[in-house]
């Protein structure tokens, strides 16, 4: 009788063992990803397409070290601002229309939205200014945006907000805040989709 019991136990043990082995072979890709801790050299990938837009080295770091952001100043039509905004007061006919009349400011809540000097430097118009009074370059506007939108900035640094330019490999170059968002009216406008879908066969 005991012999039978022992053999039963042995059999149970064997079945259990084979089950656990079976479970081990059912490894998910998630485990493989978690175990991949070696750094991958992104620059080892030969690239066919280079980033052509002007980019500058960011003043912050992401998990892989330094990275680049798309430059902004070259895209501002009438930069430098100080070519008009000098110490001397200027009186011009239809001044508002000729200068910044096209800007619709829709940033912040409806009743108490932001005004120009909330972001622009009140004296030195070639720069932005944050709430601590630091001068901020137009190319590094993420430093300014991030003081309110810190969650977005955190995600942007990591790579969950915004996106890389052209390549997933190679040196990391990402879109700046103002590449996608109009800083004066940052929400995307409603519009018709680019195409439509038909039923699947």
Partner 1 sequence: MSSKKIKNEEIRAASLLEKKSTRRNFLKGLSIAAAAGSAALTTGCIPAADAASTEELKLRWQEFFKKNYRLMTQEEKDATVARLERLSKLNANLDVQMGSYPPLDGVLYGYAFNITRCEGFMECVTACVKENNLDRKTNTQYIRIFEMEPGQLDPSTGDGQYYHEVPVDNKFYMGTQCFHCEKAPCTKACPTKATWKEPDGIVVVDYDWCIGCRYCQAACPYYGRRFNWGKPEIPKEEVTRRQHYLGNRIRPMGKMEKCTFCIQRTRKGRLPACVEACPTGARVFGNLLDPESEIRYVLKHKKVFRMKEELGTDPKFWYFID
Which tokens go with 155?
């995600």
List contacts with partner 1 (CB under 8 A). Answer: 26, 28-30, 32-33, 36-40, 42, 45-49, 62-64, 151, 155, 158-164, 166-170, 175, 180, 188, 190-201
CA dihedral 146, 151, 152, 157 (to 10 degrees): 80
Nearest 5°: CA angle at 55, between 57 and 188? 110
User: Which CB atom, from 13 or from 40, has the smaller least distance to partner 1?
Assistant: 40
Which residues lie below 8 Å from residue 153, measured CB to CB, with a gap of 6+? 142, 145, 146, 161
| Nearest-approach distance from CB 167 to partner 1, in angstroms | 5
| Nearest-approach distance from CB 4 to partner 1, in angstroms | 38
| Nearest-approach distance from CB 49 to partner 1, in angstroms | 5
Are 144 and 119 contacting, i.e. CB atoms less than 8 angstroms apart? yes
User: Which CB atom, from 121 or from 181, has the smaller least distance to partner 1?
Assistant: 181
| Nearest-approach distance from CB 28 to partner 1, in angstroms | 6
User: Which CB atom, from 4 or from 48, has the smaller least distance to partner 1?
Assistant: 48
Which tokens go with 44?
């080892």
User: Which CB atom, from 131 or from 151, has the smaller least distance to partner 1?
Assistant: 151
| Nearest-approach distance from CB 165 to partner 1, in angstroms | 9
**3-class DSSP state for residue 164?**
strand
Which tokens go with 63?
């998990």
Residue 173 host element (H or E): strand 173-174
Residue written as token pair 């910044």 = 100
């Amino acid at each position: 009788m005991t012999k039978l019991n022992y053999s039963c136990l042995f059999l149970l043990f064997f079945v259990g063992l084979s089950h656990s082995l079976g479970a081990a072979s059912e490894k998910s890709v998630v485990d493989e990803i978690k175990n991949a801790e070696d750094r991958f050299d992104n620059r080892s990938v030969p690239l066919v397409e280079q980033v052509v837009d002007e980019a500058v080295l960011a003043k912050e770091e992401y998990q892989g070290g330094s990275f680049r952001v798309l430059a902004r100043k070259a895209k501002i039509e009438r930069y430098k601002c100080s070519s008009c905004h000098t110490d001397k007061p200027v009186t011009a006919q239809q001044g508002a229309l000729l200068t910044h009349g096209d800007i619709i400011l829709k940033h912040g809540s409806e009743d108490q939205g932001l005004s120009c000097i909330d972001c622009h430097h009140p004296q030195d118009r070639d720069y932005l200014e944050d709430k601590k009074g630091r001068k901020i370059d137009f190319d590094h506007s993420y430093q300014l945006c991030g003081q309110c939108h810190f969650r977005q900035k955190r995600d942007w640094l990591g790579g969950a907000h915004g996106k890389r330019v052209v390549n997933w490999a190679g040196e990391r170059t990402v879109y700046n805040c103002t590449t996608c968002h109009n800083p004066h009216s940052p929400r995307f406008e409603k519009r018709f989709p680019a195409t439509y879908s038909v039923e699947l066969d």
